[in-house]
Amino acid sequence: MSELGLKPLSPRAELHLHFQGAIRPATLLGLARRHGIALPVDDLPALREWFRFRDFAHFVEVYALLRACLVEPADYELVTYELGSELAGQGVRYAEVTFTPGPEVYRGPRETFFDGLSAGRERVRRELGVELRWIFDIPRRTVTLHPHMPLADFITDCAINGRYDGVVALGLAGTELGYPPEPFEPWFDRARAAGLHSVPHAGETAGPASIWGAVRALGAERLGHGVRAVEDPALLEYLVEKRIPLEVCPTSNIALGVYPSLAEHPLRRLVDAGAVGHREYGHAGDLRHPADCRSRTAAHRVWPQQCGRRAGPPECH
């Protein structure tokens, strides 16, 4: 028991957390200054205020700049270690962290960015007792905006070749409206054939059709968000029957305008329907931006199997 009479945190798993979104504001400021990257503001209080999202489009804007400030392998190691430290403080012992290798990775470190992730992951395991696994995700809109870059191929290659070094799944994230899951089926087919799991985001800012697409075309085994399933009773029944759980993030949904308030959030209906495995409410103070300093409802399907080690980072072509 603590001095306040509170019970110590029981060990828990974190299943919906974005690597780039977990960068601390102070760390972001330091990285931007180190690499000469201009931020909209140049002091910590103003930067924290900038992280207060107006809507999903603003979130995407912030997220793109967060990704751009990761330049060297040491940057990835630093953020990984700080993330692990934050998770350890919340009682988390296992986490599946979504990492987006966007254009900045393709243009930059490519073969070496994974060195930073792996070094940080090993330190987190050794010093903090937290086991990290990676979900490499394809950013829907970004892939479309950069047709000259084979980003989907690159990310899928990185994920497949990193499966012995902690990568457990391929994901799909970013803007849903106008970017349905179905066109990404070939890359998910490749990843699943190689032994990776399928964990796309769907049913956050788009409705049930997006979830149906993720399930039918991508073979989703777990869904990022998926809250809009409540709009289609047949879909909700299907998810429960097939044991495809949801990663529900209520305060993120409120911050990004998916729902106007917690009172109007469908969490209770989803839990009552059996679409959510168990609830986990965590708060990260001001160390992560609001979409990731959230109450989390963790789905129950995790893949904590030990991955065999191999020499060197994965090859990303």
**Count of the separate structural domains present in the chain:** 1
Which of 77, 86, 204, 280 is labelled catalytic? 204
Q: Give domain status of residue 110, yes or no.
A: yes
Q: Give domain status of residue 76, yes or no.
A: yes
Residue 297 scores a pLDDT above 50? no
pTM (predicted TM-score)? 0.84
pLDDT at 5: 42
Residue 204 bears catalytic tag: yes
User: CATH number, domain at 231?
Assistant: 3.20.20.140
Residue 103 scores a pLDDT above 70? yes
Give 31-53 pLDDT, tens digit per residue. Answer: 999 999 998 888 899 888 887 87
Q: Give domain status of residue 311, yes or no.
A: no
Please compute the mean of the pLDDT values over residues 286-308 and round it to a whole number: 40
Q: Give domain status of residue 215, yes or no.
A: yes
Q: Give domain status of residue 260, yes or no.
A: yes
- According to the per-residue pLDDT averaged within each range, which of 8-22, 228-242, 272-286 is highest? 228-242
Q: Give domain status of residue 174, yes or no.
A: yes
Residue 117 scores a pLDDT above 90? yes
Positive or negative, the CA dihedral 307, 310, 313, 315 is negative
Residue 11 scores a pLDDT above 80? yes
Q: For tokens 């879909």, name the residue.
A: 235
Domain that holds residue 163: 12-296
Q: Give domain status of residue 292, yes or no.
A: yes
Q: Give domain status of residue 307, yes or no.
A: no
